[in-house]
């Protein structure tokens, strides 16, 4: 396997650049008989773990779209609804996020635990608000007040944007 080490660049054990949004840096150690320092980029080619990580990351983005798509679609509607697509998107974010952390740990990639804890907390709140909101949406009748659903619709959308901000701005 071809291994090259580029010193002095903050990144992870797989081919990522600082701009690509990895959520930690590589640990110091030794790769293929060569010393690396914390923050080195280590290129190992496209191995199976890379494929798993990319697949999970794509699923993570699809989950995000499943929440924000229906949210934005209703921006100008008078009556807001929390849809099943939003619920499944929120569940997908929890599952794919945790699996991404697992894959990173398996690859000896140093995960920023504080950042992940914040994301997990926010994602649990998104999923909880989505579950309750969807149940209340189902119970909506033409003359029942829609304020509670509207609030939960807002909470789901706003906290999802908070998690995007945490993902991209906390480095
Ligand atoms: C509503 C919930 C969530 C949203 C909107 C969200 C959003 C994002 C976004 C936009 C990225 C890409 C960042 C970038 O490439 O710059 C990302 C990456 C990531 N997220 Fe989430 N996330 C959510 C939940 C979670 C949860 C619950 C976890 C783990 C407990 C998690 C773990 C990760 C990890 C490990 C990555 C980095 C993947 C990589 O580069 O290898 N996310 N997330």
Average pLDDT over residues 68-83: 97
Q: What is the DSSP letter of 24?
A: S
Which of 16-25, 48-57, 155-164 has the weakest average pLDDT?
Answer: 16-25
CB 33 within 8 A of CB 67: no
Taking the CA atoms of residue 123, residue 129, residue 135 and residue 138 in that order, the dihedral angle to the nearest 10 degrees is: -100
Q: Whose CA is nearest to atom 7 of ligand 1?
A: 164
Please give the number of the atom of ligand 1 that sits closest to the Cα of 64. 5
Looking at every residue in the chain, the average pLDDT score rounds to 82
Q: Are the C-beta atoms of 130 and 159 separated by less than 8 Å?
A: no
Q: What confidence score (pLDDT) does residue 20 get? A: 39
**Mean pLDDT in residue range 1-18:** 39
pLDDT attached to residue 14:
41
Torsion on CA atoms 18, 20, 21, 24, rounded to nearest 10: -50
3-state SS assignment for residue 33: coil
Residue 141 has a CB neighbour count (10 Å cut-off) of: 6
Pair 86, 71: CB distance under 8 Å: yes
Alpha carbon distances (Å) from 56 to 134, 141, 158: 26, 39, 23
Task: Identify the pLDDT of residue 41.
Answer: 55
The dihedral through the CA atoms of 112, 113, 114, 118 has a sign that is positive
Q: Is the pLDDT of residue 3 over 60?
A: no
User: Which residues surround ligand 1 with Cβ inside 6 Å?
Assistant: 21-23, 53, 57, 60, 64, 93-94, 97-98, 100-101, 104, 116, 119-120, 123, 126, 160, 163-164, 167-168
Element (H, E) at 104: helix 84-106
């Amino acid at each position: 396997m071809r291994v090259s080490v580029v010193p002095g660049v903050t990144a992870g054990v797989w081919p990522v650049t600082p701009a690509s949004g990895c959520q930690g840096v590589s640990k110091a150690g030794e790769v293929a008989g060569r010393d690396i320092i914390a923050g080195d980029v280590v290129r190992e080619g496209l191995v199976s773990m890379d494929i798993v990580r990319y697949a999970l990351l794509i699923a993570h983005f699809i989950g995000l779209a499943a929440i924000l798509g229906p949210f934005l679609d209703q921006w100008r509607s008078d009556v807001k609804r929390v849809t099943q697509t939003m619920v499944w998107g929120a569940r997908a974010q929890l599952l794919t996020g945790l699996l991404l952390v697992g894959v990173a740990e398996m690859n000896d990639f140093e995960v920023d635990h504080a950042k992940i804890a914040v994301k997990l907390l926010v994602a649990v709140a998104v999923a909880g608000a989505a579950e309750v909101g969807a149940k209340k949406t189902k119970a909506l009748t033409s003359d029942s007040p829609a304020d509670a659903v509207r609030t939960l619709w807002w909470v789901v959308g706003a906290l999802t944007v908070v998690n995007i901000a945490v993902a991209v701005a906390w480095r």
